[in-house]
């Protein structure tokens, strides 16, 4: 995470004439070996993570989401797999 923090665009930065430059809002690291997903908001010093082994990805399992709040305003810390709640699946637009 420390390397990512050093490469992140500072919060609130705006450079006239460079519309592609955007503030870093969050940082994530995926540990594919241990199936852990780490995240942190640019607005909070806390790191939280999801132990993907604790989630049900089987066919027919309900769609779940982790509510991060508006602009990631919800403060999360530690392992949060137990805080996922049922949600409607994302509706994709049909291909044309």
pLDDT of residue 7: 80
CB atoms within 10 A of CB 40: 21
Residue 84 near residue 68, CB atoms below 8 Å: no
Maximum mean pLDDT: which of 13-17, 38-42, 50-54 = 50-54
Residue 94 inside a domain? The answer is: no
Residue 41 pLDDT > 90:
no
Residue 35 inside a domain? The answer is: yes
Over range 33-59, report the average pLDDT. Answer: 93
pLDDT of residue 55: 96
Range(s) of the domain holding residue 31 = 2-12+22-86
pLDDT tens, 10-27?
788 878 888 777 788 889
Q: How many domains does the chain have?
A: 1
Residue 17 inside a domain? The answer is: no
CB atoms within 10 A of CB 6: 7
Residue 92 inside a domain? The answer is: no
């Amino acid at each position: 995470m420390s390397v990512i923090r050093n490469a992140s665009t500072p919060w609130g930065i705006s450079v006239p004439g460079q519309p592609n430059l955007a503030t870093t809002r969050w940082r994530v690291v995926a540990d594919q070996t241990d199936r852990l997903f780490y995240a942190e908001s640019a607005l909070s010093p806390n790191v939280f993570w999801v132990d993907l082994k604790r989630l049900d990805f089987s066919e027919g399992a309900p769609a779940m989401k982790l509510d991060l709040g508006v602009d990631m305003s919800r403060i999360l810390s530690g392992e949060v797999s137990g805080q996922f709640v049922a949600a409607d699946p994302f509706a994709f637009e049909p291909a044309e």
